[in-house]
Amino acid sequence: MQSQVISFSVHELLRKHWWLLALVARVGFIVLGLCCCLLLFYLLSCKPVSHGSQQSLLWSGGATTKEGFMALLQEREDSHRRYINSLTKQIAQLKEALQERTQQLQESLDKAKTNGILPLGLESLHKTPTQSDLKEFFRSQLNQAEVNLGVKLPNEYAVIPFDTFTLQRVYQLERGLTRHPEERPVRKDRRDELIGTVESALHVLNGPHQHTDNTRRKHTYSPSDFIEGLARTERDRGSVYELTFKGKGPQDFTQLVLFRPFGPVMKVKSESVDTRSMLINIIVPLSKRPDAFRQFINNFREVCIQQDGRVHLTVVYFGRDQIEQVKAMLDQTTRETRFRSFTLIQLNEEFSRGRGLEVGARAWRRSHNVLLFFCDVDILFTSDFLTSCRLNTEPGKKVYYPVLFSQYNPAIVYSNHTLLPSVKQQLVMRKETGFWRDFGFGMTCQYRLDFINIGGFDRNIKGWGLEDVHLYRKYLHSKLMVIRSPSRGLFHLWHEKTCADELPPDKYKMCMQTKAMSEASHGQLGELIFKRERNARSSTNNEVLEI
């Protein structure tokens, strides 16, 4: 009886003072809205000026006349006017969203008043949010996203790949209806997003607090210093951008990581990276195929010896058949280029790609932790890819799994040509010439100690396939960050693929699927089939007419 009296007294007290609670709620909403608007103005005022076209990122020099200065001032005035119009539009959208949210909360309060219950959290409506609260929210989003540290993922399908972009192009795996390996021209909304991100990065890099070391000469960055960027969006966290700029020297780079937690973009870190001492040990498992190795060594001489110079080549050869031809090509390269950083390991075993890469990685006898690039003999890469390999890999933190561009059969692609174009002329990224090999995980960059600590390859796997997927899953289950993105400097050259009948069913299926996908595009294969069908009908009709 006493508890019923107390309950009745509480309800009576709440009923009499409900108007006071509603007034406090309304005042709280108004204060919250004002604080959000003020904070928005403050954050937007720190945003660099965003121009409407991609050409605004390029330097315009030589305007020294009066007319040139007047044109420059007019351009700047138009830019500010567009910026103000953009801010006005954003403020109107935020006001509309705030009013809608306020109406929803008011309806919830009215419903609670009708039912005679007090909503949970109403006691905190009098608290005014501060800038530190907003920063704390952004920081919590950053800590949950995969930016500074890798997160454990259940399988390869949970990986969110990065988009690779430059000032002119975007290379992405999720191609939608366009199904193009690259997006050019870039959609306006996407272009504005990426250009705004690059401008924000330049604002940070050229800011007064970027270089605290007075003994170091400050470098002024321009859009022409931008090399390449990686971008991806986690649906419940935000967008992360990793931007690479040229440094003062040819092997000096500056990397900047930005994070947009569904709000204003925020700086995560900025650091200078010196790649001069980053040696890459390229490991190639091989069995026979001297013609493919000759093509590989020609590309190696041009890219690694003549252009880069900071590489070591390890060839793991299975068997004795045709090994003398491989030795002769390496000796010839040494004589003609004076490059001696080779290691040739011969194994009297059945070919196993995983076994060869494992032996090559563990054969390194120098003291420092070397960067490994697992490569196949039918791969062609550029010096830009070697730079990406160095910048997207970090010992104990990051491994790089690029998605390479795989060629279709040149005999089908260039069937209307009298002569096939050269190999370099065939390296064009179009949907008619090839596709992103997003199901392959064989070409990868990681540091040797990370590879050994993760356990290396599964040594029970023999022959073709699956060993790279197992290693990939090991990294996903670790705390290392996996950088998965399309690479514009890594190509898989087409070659005839043979699937042995003695392969296990799962491997044979994978081999046949790869063979089918690598032959030609969907449209090209359909054209070949329908062409044969048409020719068959034509010959049948001719026979009927003759009869």
| Whether residues 342 and 481 fall in one domain | yes
So what's the pLDDT on residue 107? 73
Of the listed ranges 322-326, 397-401, 409-413, the one predicted with least confidence: 409-413
From first CA to last CA, the distance across the chain in angstroms is: 110
Coil, strand, or helix at residue 246? strand
As a whole-number percent, the residues of the chain with pLDDT over 70 amount to 73
pLDDT band at 126 (very low <50, low <70, confident <90, very high): very low
- The arithmetic mean of pLDDT across residues 423-450, rounded, is 89
So what's the pLDDT on residue 475? 94
So what's the pLDDT on residue 412? 85
User: To the nearest whole number, what is the mean pLDDT of the chain?
Assistant: 79
pLDDT band at 150 (very low <50, low <70, confident <90, very high): low
| Whether residues 251 and 399 fall in one domain | no
| Whether residues 297 and 402 fall in one domain | yes
- The arithmetic mean of pLDDT across residues 429-452, rounded, is 90
pLDDT higher than threshold 90 for residue 37: no
| Whether residues 237 and 324 fall in one domain | no
Comparison of pLDDT for 507 and 457, the residue scoring more: 457
| Whether residues 291 and 417 fall in one domain | yes
- The arithmetic mean of pLDDT across residues 187-198, rounded, is 84
Cβ atoms 252, 219 nearer than 8 A: no
So what's the pLDDT on residue 175? 56
Number of domains the chain is built from:
3
Q: Is 363 contained in some domain?
A: yes
Cβ atoms 393, 399 nearer than 8 A: yes
| Whether residues 307 and 254 fall in one domain | no
What tokens appear for 69 in the block? Answer: 């200065």
Of the listed ranges 22-36, 256-270, 348-362, the one predicted with least confidence: 22-36
Question: How far apart, in whole angstroms, are the C-alpha atoms of residue 493 and residue 18?
Answer: 75
For 402, phi then psi, to 5°, come to -70, 150
Q: How many Cα atoms occupy the beta-carbon half-sphere of 412 within 13 Å?
A: 21
Cβ atoms 259, 271 nearer than 8 A: no
Amino acid at position 240, single letter = V
pLDDT tens-digit series, residues 470-522:
999 999 999 999 999 999 999 999 887 778 787 888 878 878 877 777 787 77
So what's the pLDDT on residue 447? 97
User: DSSP character for 305?
Assistant: I
Q: Bridge partners of 361? A: none
Q: Is 234 contained in some domain?
A: yes
What is this structure's pTM?
A: 0.59
Three-state secondary structure along 404-445?
EEEECCHHHHCCCCCCCCCCCCCCCCCCCCEEECCCCCCCEE
Q: How far is CA 350 from the centre of its chain?
A: 36
Q: Please enumerate in sequence order all residues whose Cβ is within 8 A of that of 541, keeping only pairs 6 or more positions apart, or say none.
A: none
Cβ atoms 253, 285 nearer than 8 A: no
Q: How far is CA 409 from the centre of its chain?
A: 27
544 by Cβ neighbours in 10 Å (0-12 / 13-18 / 19+) ranks as exposed
So what's the pLDDT on residue 47? 53
Of the listed ranges 105-109, 118-122, 294-298, 380-384, the one predicted with least confidence: 118-122
Q: Is 101 contained in some domain?
A: no
Q: Is 1 contained in some domain?
A: no
In terms of residue numbers, what domain contains 470?
Answer: 280-495
Q: Please enumerate in sequence order all residues whose Cβ is within 8 A of that of 1, keeping only pairs 6 or more positions apart, or say none.
A: none
| Whether residues 307 and 450 fall in one domain | yes
pLDDT higher than threshold 60 for residue 277: yes
| Whether residues 188 and 313 fall in one domain | no
pLDDT band at 186 (very low <50, low <70, confident <90, very high): confident
CB contact burial 334-349 (16+ within 10 A = b; e otherwise): eeeeebeeebeeebee
Q: Is 21 contained in some domain?
A: no
Q: From residue 225, how far is each of 59, 245, 367, 515 by CA, in Å?
A: 11, 5, 35, 41
CATH of the domain at 293: 3.90.550.10
Which has the closest alpha carbon to 351: 376, 375, 319, 321? 319
| Whether residues 264 and 315 fall in one domain | no
- The arithmetic mean of pLDDT across residues 40-51, rounded, is 58
Question: How far apart, in whole angstroms, are the C-alpha atoms of residue 186 and residue 169?
Answer: 6
Amino acid at position 394, single letter = E
Of the listed ranges 70-84, 116-130, 335-349, the one predicted with least confidence: 116-130
Q: Please enumerate in sequence order all residues whose Cβ is within 8 A of that of 303, keeping only pairs 6 or more positions apart, or say none.
A: 381, 382, 383, 386
Question: How far apart, in whole angstroms, are the C-alpha atoms of residue 168 and residue 195?
Answer: 10
| Whether residues 262 and 158 fall in one domain | yes
| Whether residues 260 and 284 fall in one domain | no
Q: Is 386 contained in some domain?
A: yes
Q: From residue 243, how far is each of 197, 246, 479 by CA, in Å?
A: 9, 10, 23
So what's the pLDDT on residue 56? 43
As a whole-number percent, the residues of the chain with pLDDT over 90 amount to 31
Q: Is 149 contained in some domain?
A: yes
| Whether residues 266 and 294 fall in one domain | no
Q: From residue 493, how far is each of 212, 302, 382, 429 by CA, in Å?
A: 48, 17, 13, 13
Question: How far apart, in whole angstroms, are the C-alpha atoms of residue 71 and residue 62?
Answer: 12
24 by Cβ neighbours in 10 Å (0-12 / 13-18 / 19+) ranks as middle
Residue reference for tokens 């090991």: 474
pLDDT higher than threshold 50 for residue 534: yes
Q: How many residues does the chain have?
A: 547
pLDDT band at 115 (very low <50, low <70, confident <90, very high): low
Q: Is 311 contained in some domain?
A: yes
pLDDT higher than threshold 80 for residue 308: yes
pLDDT tens-digit series, residues 371-410:
999 999 999 999 999 999 999 999 999 999 999 999 998 8
For 233, phi then psi, to 5°, come to -125, 125
Report the run of H or E that residue 371 belongs to, with start and end.
strand 371-374
pLDDT band at 215 (very low <50, low <70, confident <90, very high): very low
- Greatest mean pLDDT among 83-97, 286-300, 487-501, 503-517 lies in 286-300
What tokens appear for 139 in the block? Answer: 């920081």
